[in-house]
Chain A
Amino acid sequence: MSAPAAEKTGSTVRRDPHAALEIIDVSVKFGGITAVSDVSLSARRGQITGLIGPNGAGKTTTFNVITGLQEPTNGRVFIGEREVSHLPPYRRSRLGMARTFQRLEVFGSLSVYENVLAAAEFHHSWSDDATPPRLVANEIVERVGLSTVSEERVDALPTGIARLVELGRALATRPDLLLLDEVGSGLNHEETAALGDLMIELTRDGTAILLVEHDVELVMRVCDRIFVLDFGRLIANGTPEQIQKDPAVQAAYLGADTEEQK
């Protein structure tokens, strides 16, 4: 009931009319602790948007708010034109959003291929995409480079590969908006480079990617725009060049880097 009304006013609230995703003034409090505080950000079609910050900065919490797994204390979420603040997670993802998880959420008792196939079947069941799920799964498994392990049970795989399974699963739903939570950690140098290429390739089809990543090199290479979180607050946003020069970012990272290197 409230959703259509909110949608109407939505267009006046939104700040970035071209955004595939926009969140406005999102705050999350756990008990007395504020995990995310008044964060607004957006991700555009055909671009890779970075979301970086030290551990505990609120990146994953922000992802959870966007996907609907975490109810925010405050704030609104838009996917395209549509306000989704009050939609359950599955309704949001049916608008064309998919994500990966920092703490793995694979289907451990299924094989790699079945993980991707299941996602393709989900998509097939709620979208008007008529492509047979098995074709989609075959293509995706190939594309993310999992062909050699496609019959392995996922809970037997190393973390880095399991993250690629999550990526493949997300891609199998043909998302317009892709949220990647540290999908590159656990990968070696070549694999990371391939991952970067894959992301850039995806944006050419118009996909919007929101990327949480600790690998600064990768972030600076692929991102069009970067938002920086520290202690739940947005401390900077801009192009990779602007972010690298930003004194506030340097302070946050220099302060946190020594801890993270462990």
Chain B
Amino acid sequence: MEIFLSYTVVGIVAGCVYALIATGLVVTYNTTGIFNFAHGAIAMVGAYTYWQFQDDFQGWGINPVISLILVLFVLAPLFGLIVERVLMRPLQGASVDLTLVVTLGLLLFLVGVAQIAWDPNVTRNLPSFFNGAGFNIGYVQVSYHEVVAVVATVAIAISLRILFNNTRTGIAMRAVVDNPDLLAMAGGRPVRVQQLAWALSCSLAALAGILLAPINRLDILLLTLLVVDGYAAAIIGRLRNLPLAVGGAMAIGLGQNYLNGYAHSGFLNRIQFTIPMIVLFIMLILLPQDRLKTASFSGAVAPRVAGLKSSLIWGAVLIVGTYLVSLSLSDINLRTGASGFALALVLLSLLLLTGYGGMVSICQMSMAGLGAIAMGHVASGGSLLGVLAAIGLSGAVGALLALPTLKMRGLYLALATFAFATVMDQAVFTQVFGTGGNLAIGRPHIPGIPTQSDQAWMMVCCIVFTAAAVAVLAVRRSSFGRKLVAVNDSPAACATLGVNVNYTKLIVFTSSAMMCGLAGVLIGGVTKQVDALTFPALLSLVALLLARVGGINTATGVLLGAFTFALFPVFVPHLPHILHNQFLLTGIAAVSVGRDPNGIGGRIAEGAAYLRKAFGMEAKPQFVATGPVAGTAAAVFLEEEANLVSAGR
């Protein structure tokens, strides 16, 4: 009984924190129609800021109560106002995919800022309120920190209920998402209402972070992702219904802790941390989806698809160019180049899936991780058989994941795939590799072709990417490619023209996962070993944003996106110190350049079309999607730069 009670107490506290998170999400979704993926990161920054204020040794040693008031009632709302003004207000009426890009970009930006401000290698402690003091009910210990968590949550839940149902402002908050113009005409002030919502939401996030950090650990990624667990509760409330979301949060918190208490070992114990994500996944499947509707992640006007001739020519140019550059590179830079092409292959899978097919995925790195696992375990880790196994395993898991998610689009699909990636992180990769452990991956031996040296491996990666890019472009030009684009443009029309829409999506999802499996082999081959941190969910998110920034509907775009990230170590010495963080830069790129759905690749295609016209060449811009031309240029330039840098050392 004592055990039951103590797990109940811990479960209620966890449920309260989830409820706070869910409430914050519902508040902004209800008033702006934007699902804030960055909510977790805001909570994390809130917790760190509070730590900074009140810590006596590494921080500024300000009185905890004053610190708390400053963070919750001044800084967090202020941050909310800035976010609203700079990022969210321009998104009024924007498509779901743009809001996804911007909020995901904000998430990465905040993680980057936190990593620069608070060195992740330094251990920090955020004490509980009242330094962990508490009291006993029978044998069950209850800390004042936990009491504060519960009281605060109940108070907030009640006041929000009153705010939304009984006050003019609250009713305006509910009205604003439905029709801001109508509200304005009726004398309401939609902007003021939305400012209030973001300020409130950020305060709630900060409070959740401050309550959560002492219970777990003050760790940037852990905290950001723990808060993501609260998203499940918000989805239970269908992002609209606060009481339902709070109830869901309690159920998740309690369920998770009872599992922890009663399933001491075995499968159930291992999955306890993934419970929220599993709940999220199941809820998404159960939610009524929009019926066959139109939506698209890529641009309204996509660049023309490169023809076979031009993609072959530019592919050859890329391979030859890479070879020439590779002759003069150090081993470190050869591996950097190889990882660039490997990452480009992951992004290429998004060109097919998202750019052409309109399906968002935030689990491509997890698929690559599965490929690496298969490669490492089959035929002692260095054979072509392993490559086949990698492609097969990723494809199979991709198909299994696709089946329940086929009907989802936009936000729901993004959440479901992200939930999957998180579960892979917590339940699969840590189990397979073991905490701190790793798996050796060999470079497959191919008769007659050198693959073992770093230079050879970079060429393998380059050739595999180029072949895959030519293939993807060929698929796009084929009848299947037309079907894919048609299914994205109008699933309803396709269905009434005899197309099995779900089957088409299944094929694309599976092929895309297979490409990731192959990329996993390439990634593993670069470092010759992988561990639980090689394929984190966060990197899947980075991959999606990089593809969007580079241009998610051209091969040039994805190559650019991948190399911008992979070459980070090369050009970082030339950047001011404040920008020395990949997440920060990716985040900034996403919220700025990522707004253009065609990305940088699309701009290059436009430029090329302009040039062709200016030089009086054939007016029809048949191969304006320049294929990998710009990629080559960028690769050559940056690799040479890399060479200079390494020579200078």
Residues of chain A at the chain B interface (Cβ within 8 Å): 67-70, 88-90, 92-94, 97-99, 101, 105-110, 114-115, 117-119, 121-123, 125-126, 133, 153, 155, 166, 169-170, 173
Task: Provide the bound-state CA to CA distance between A189 and B501, in Å.
Answer: 37
B499: chain A residues within 8 A (beta carbon): 90, 122
- CB contact list, B477-507 vs A, under 8 A: 479, 482-483, 485-486, 488-490, 492-501
Tell me, rounded to whole Å, the shortest Cβ–Cβ distance linking A170 to chain B: 7
Decide: B302 and A94 in contact? CB cutoff 8 A. no
How distant is the Cα of A122 from the Cα of B496 in the complex, in angstroms? 11
Instruction: Evaluate contact between A169 and B498: CB separation under 8 angstroms.
Output: no
If A106-B489, A106-B490, A107-B489 touch, whether A98 touches B482 (CB-CB below 8 Å) is no
- The answer on a CB contact under 8 Å between A90 and B485 is no
A53 to chain B, nearest CB (A): 22
Residues from chain A with a CB closer than 8 A to the CB of B302 are 109
Q: Is B327 an interface residue (CB 8 A)?
A: no
**Contact among B301, B488, B496 with A93 in the assembled complex (CB-CB below 8 Å):** B496
- Residue of A whose beta carbon sits closest to that of B491: A105
- With A118-B479, A133-B479: A69-B485 Cβ-Cβ less than 8 Å: no
B456 contact set on A, CB distance < 8 A: none
Q: Across the interface, do A93 and B493 meet the contact criterion of CB distance under 8 Å? A: no
Q: Are B498 and A122 in touch, CB under 8 angstroms? A: yes
CB distance from B619 to the nearest CB of A (A): 11
Q: Which of B482, B492, B496 is the one whose CB lies under 8 Å from A121?
A: B482
Beyond A109-B485, A110-B482, A121-B479, whether A93 also contacts B497 by CB under 8 A is yes
A109 pairs with B497, CB closer than 8 A? no
Q: Tell me whether B498 and A107 are in contact (CB under 8 A).
A: no
Taking CB atoms, residues of chain A closer than 8 Å to B498 are 90, 93-94, 122-123, 126, 173
User: A9 to nearest B CB, angstroms?
Assistant: 27
B277-302, CB < 8 A from A: 291-292, 294, 300-302
User: What distance in Å separates the Cβ of B481 from its nearest Cβ neighbour in chain A?
Assistant: 10
Q: How far is the CB of B408 from chain A (nearest CB, A)?
A: 18
Please give 12 more A-B residue pairs, beta carbons under 8 A apart, in addition to A67-B495, A110-B486, A170-B497: A69-B496, A88-B500, A90-B494, A90-B499, A99-B496, A105-B294, A105-B490, A106-B493, A108-B490, A122-B497, A123-B498, A169-B493
Contacts of A118 in B (CB 8 A): 479, 482-483, 486
**Interfacial chain A residues near B490, Cβ < 8 Å:** 105-108
Chain B at the A interface: SS class: helix
Interface members, chain B 438-490 (any A CB < 8 Å): 479, 482-483, 485-486, 488-490
Chain B residues, Cβ within 8 Å of A155: 300-301
Residues of B within 8 A of A122 (CB): 483, 494, 497-499
Residues of B within 8 A of A107 (CB): 482, 485-486, 489-490, 493
A contact face: mostly helix, strand, loop, or mixed: helix
Decide: A173 and B492 in contact? CB cutoff 8 A. Answer: no
Alpha-carbon distance between A227 and B93 when the two chains are bound, in angstroms: 40
Interface size on B, residues (CB 8 A): 24
Enumerate chain B residues within 8 angstroms of A69, measured Cβ to Cβ.
291-292, 492, 495-496
- Which of A93, A114, A166 gathers most chain B CB within 10 Å? A93
Q: For the complex formed, measure the closest distance between the CB of A57 and the CB atoms of chain B, giving whole angstroms.
A: 21
Complex: A92 Cα to B497 Cα, angstroms: 9
Q: How far is the CB of B502 from chain A (nearest CB, A)?
A: 9
B497 touching A173, Cβ below 8 Å: yes
Q: How far is it, in angstroms, between the C-alpha of A108 and the C-alpha of B495 when the chains are bound?
A: 16
Are B496 and A108 in contact, with the CB atoms below 8 A? no
Q: Which of A98, A101, A109, A166 has the most CB of B within 10 A?
A: A109
Instruction: Using CB atoms, name the residue of chain B closest to A117.
Output: B482
Complex Cα–Cα for A153 and B299 (A): 14
Closest-CB distance, A66 to chain B (whole angstroms): 10
Chain A residue nearest to B480 (CB atoms) is: A121
Cα–Cα, bound, A214→B489 (Å):
27
From residue A112, how far is it (CB to closest CB) to chain B in Å?
13
Interfacial chain B residues near A153, Cβ < 8 Å: 301
The 5 A-B residue pairs whose C-beta atoms are closest, nearest first, are A89-B495, A105-B493, A105-B490, A107-B489, A121-B479
Enumerate 5 A-B pairs (CB-CB under 8 Å) in ascending A order: A68-B495, A97-B496, A106-B493, A109-B301, A118-B483
Question: Quick check: B301 and A169 within 8 Å, CB to CB?
Answer: no
* Cβ contact within 8 Å between A114 and B482: yes
Of all chain B residues, which has the CB nearest A173? Answer: B497
- Chain B residues, Cβ within 8 Å of A101: 492-493
Q: Once bound together, how far apart are the Cα atoms of A53 and B68, in whole Å?
A: 65
In the complex, what residues of A have CB within 8 A of residue B300's CB? 108-109, 155
Query: What residues on B are CB-neighbors of A123 within 8 Å?
Result: 497-498
Task: List the B residue with the shortest CB-CB distance to A123.
Answer: B498
In the complex, A123→B498 CA distance in Å? Answer: 7
Give min CB distance, A41 to chain B, whole Å.
19
> Is A90 a contact partner of B489 (Cβ separation < 8 A)?
no
Tell me how far the C-beta of A6 lies from the nearest C-beta in chain B, rounded to whole angstroms.
21
Nearest-neighbor residue (CB-CB) of A124 within chain B = B479
Chain B residues near A106 (CB-CB < 8 A): 489-490, 493
Provide the bound-state CA to CA distance between A28 and B472, in Å: 43
Determine the chain A residues whose CB is within 8 A of the CB of B291 once the complex forms: 69-70
Tell me how far the C-beta of B214 lies from the nearest C-beta in chain A, rounded to whole angstroms. 47
CA distance A173 to B490 in the complex (A): 17
CA distance A68 to B499 in the complex (A): 13
- Once bound together, how far apart are the Cα atoms of A212 and B268, in whole Å? 58
- CB neighbours of A121 from chain B (8 A): 479, 482-483
A169 to B496, CA, bound (A): 11
The answer to whether A98 touches B489, judged by C-beta atoms less than 8 angstroms apart, is: no
Min distance, Cβ B300 to any Cβ of chain A, angstroms: 7
Least CB separation from B296: chain A residue: A109
In whole angstroms, what is the CA distance A173 to B486 when docked?
A: 15
Expressed in whole angstroms, the Cα–Cα distance for A195 and B498 within the complex equals 24
Interface residues of B in 499-525 (CB under 8 A from A): 499-501
The docked-state distance in angstroms from the alpha carbon of A94 to that of B291 is 21
CA–CA, A153 and B486, complex, Å: 13
Q: For B495, what are the chain A residues with a Cβ–Cβ distance below 8 Å?
A: 67-69, 88-90, 93
Q: Which residues from A are CB-within-8-Å of B497? A: 93, 98, 119, 122-123, 169-170, 173
**Nearest-neighbor residue (CB-CB) of A63 within chain B:** B496
Taking a contact as CB atoms under 8 Å apart, the answer to whether B496 and A89 are in contact is: yes
Distance between A110 CB and nearest chain B CB, rounded to angstroms: 6
Chain B residues near A115 (CB-CB < 8 A): 486
For B483, what are the chain A residues with a Cβ–Cβ distance below 8 Å?
Answer: 118, 121-122
A-chain residues with CB within 8 Å of residue B479 when the two chains form the complex: 118, 121, 125, 133
Shortest CB distance A90–B (Å): 5
What is the CA–CA distance of A118 and B482 in the complex, to the nearest angstrom? 6
CB-CB contacts below 8 Å: B212-228 with A? none
Q: Could you say which residues of chain A place their CB within 8 Å of the CB of B489?
A: 106-110
Closest to A95 in B: B498
Q: Which of B482, B485, B493 has the most CB of A within 10 A?
A: B493
Given the complex of chains A and B, what is the CA–CA distance between A117 and B300 in angstroms?
Answer: 21
| B493 partner residues in chain A, CB cutoff 8 A | 101, 105-107, 166, 169
CA A153 – CA B201 in complex, angstroms? Answer: 43
B500 nearest CB neighbor, chain A only: A90
Which residues of chain B in 548-577 are interfacial with respect to chain A, using CB atoms and an 8 Å cutoff?
none
CB distance from B473 to the nearest CB of A (A): 16
Are B485's CB and A98's CB within 8 A?
no
Closest to B356 in A: A109
- A121–B479 alpha-carbon span in the complex (Å): 7
| A residues in contact with B486, CB < 8 Å | 107, 110, 115, 118
